[in-house]
Amino acid sequence: MDNLINVYMNYKMNRLTEYGVLLFQQDTVFIRQVMEGYIRTYIDNCYYGIFNTIDDSHFNLKNLKLEFDGIMVEMLEDYRVYELQVSNQEYTDNRKMIEDLNPFCLELIKIDDLEIDNKDSIPAKVEEFIHKNKFFSDKKEVVSKLISLVRETFVTSKKLLDFTDNYYVLSERSFEGQKDIIYLEMVPNIKSLEMYRSSLVQKVYRDDRLEISKIECLLQKVSLLLLRNVLKHDKLNTYFIQFPDGVISRGKIQHSILSLMDNPIIRKHVIVGVSYNTYLNQKIAFVEDYQFGCIQDFTHIHDVYQKTDTIYKEGIFNYLLVWDCKYRDRDYFLGYNPESMKTLVFEED
């Protein structure tokens, strides 16, 4: 199972490539590879905030052009190894193709920015896009095919982005002074399951044998939440989710869980929370490149200062989540923010 953000971005790249070969009026394996190189760079820049050849990390057409120029130089350099493997004519033609597709793809990706509200608006939007651009063929059959492709993309994307799950919902808790960090858990929507006894639903949901499936479902829900905001270029929150013990065993996080987390946005905006005891028992699992949070209930801990210092000195946790504590210690935790580890305290009910 792959992460929803990866699935969607790969779909977007494939669709933009289909638009590209249609409008370029040529379709070869090499042309597709070159287009995908430019389009992948666009997706990295626009949606992931990843820039491969320039230092500026702000997405705009000026920086994208600089990135395309940098990627073009890299592709030309990489292609040098074929100089003695193909004919002189093919070598020259393919190098020119890499150069020609640079400005072409810079115009092509603008179709991704079309504001499409519904299927009926697609023909007019696409026709306007084509007629404004000197790079693209305005043949009737080409425009008609492009309209069809864009419509297919719109319908498929809408199905994914509008998906709702009536059986399980996300429950949020807020932290004191941390408006951009939210604790998330998935809970059964009892109203949707009213045909069953509430107690039975809760009992089944708490079954340890479902731990991995629940985390998989939670991660997909979080991915969809982040994806919607990424596509709208909204500010992204960071979500703290708790991993139960069963997700980590024999010093490894379950492979299916890692697959769902293997995405730059997830790595940046999802905090993996575990109890301190789980960490101590599975230390070698915490070498992955994610944000980790230690969840600790301080209610019955006599020396909270020594305990927090011990957790901090492990050097693995980016966050310390105070699950609960004596009221007299609350101010201490609210002010406890050592270098490289942020303390999170739930807002009072």
Please state whether 233 falls in left (phi above 0), alpha (psi between -120 and 50) or beta.
left
Q: How far apart are CA 262 and CA 164, in angstroms?
A: 23
Specify whether the CB–CB gap between 324 and 173 falls below 8 A.
no
The residues, any chain, with a CB within 8 Å of residue 205's CB and separated by 6 or more, are 187, 188, 214
Residues in the chain with pLDDT values less than 70: 1, 190-209
Specify whether the CB–CB gap between 214 and 188 falls below 8 A.
no
Q: Which two tokens stand for residue 84?
A: 């003695």
**Residues 245, 248, 254, 258: what is their CA dihedral angle, to the nearest 10 degrees?**
100
Show contacts of 21-25: CB within 8 Å, 24+ apart.
22/142, 22/145, 22/146, 22/149, 23/108, 23/130, 23/135, 23/136, 23/137, 23/142, 23/146, 24/101, 24/104, 25/137, 25/142
pLDDT for position 336: 94
Output the DSSP codes for 203-224. Answer: HHHT-GGGHHHHHHHHHHHHHH
Dump pLDDT digits (tens) for 109-121: 999 999 998 999 9
pTM of the predicted structure, to 2 decimals = 0.90
- What are the domain boundaries of the chain? 4-161, 168-345
**Residues 329, 331, 336, 342: what is their CA dihedral angle, to the nearest 10 degrees?**
100
Specify whether the CB–CB gap between 116 and 231 falls below 8 A.
no
Sheet holding 168-175, edge to edge: 168-175, 178-188, 238-242, 270-275, 291-297, 319-324, 342-345
pLDDT for position 22: 96
